[in-house]
Amino acid sequence: KAGVTQTPRYLIKTRGQQVTLSCSPISGHRSVSWYQQTPGQGLQFLFEYFSETQRNKGNFPGRFSGRQFSNSRSEMNVSTLELGDSALYLCASSSPPGAGDQTQYFGPGTRLLVL
């Protein structure tokens, strides 16, 4: 079974721009979560999607948004980029609620550098 895939793997943007990151979950997984990892704040939960609906949200400003498509693929968008948005963005997928294995399996991440 293929793992979680994320594109692009690396990205360089400038302040004020916007960026869209993509995540394809493991086949059969319908929940997708996003996390931000920075040296200062560590790993922080951004949001979770299930069946195209945001089910949970972390404490991030509205510049951070996401969506999920009918095939469970997910995108996250960051608008008006700030230097502090430079981070590793990790996507994780898991089985549907109540489906047994509730482990979140992570993709390789997208490294975003904001200049």
Which residues sit at the interface with another protein, rule CB under 8 A? Answer: 31, 33, 35, 42-45, 48, 55-56, 58, 88, 90, 92, 94, 97-99, 101-109, 111
- Least distance to another protein, CB of residue 48, Å: 6
Pick 30 or 78: Cβ nearer another protein: 30
- Least distance to another protein, CB of residue 80, Å: 25
Pick 5 or 65: Cβ nearer another protein: 5
- Least distance to another protein, CB of residue 28, Å: 15
Pick 60 or 79: Cβ nearer another protein: 60
Structure-token match 């997910």, residue found: 74
Pick 22 or 58: Cβ nearer another protein: 58
- How far from the centroid of its chain's Cα atoms is residue 11's Cα? 14
Question: How many residues are there in the chain?
Answer: 115
**Torsion, CA 102, CA 103, CA 104, CA 106, rounded to 10:** -150
- Least distance to another protein, CB of residue 57, Å: 9
Angle made by CA atoms 80, 84, 87, in degrees to the nearest 5: 100
Sequence-distant (6+) residues with CB within 8 A of 43 are 35, 36, 37, 90
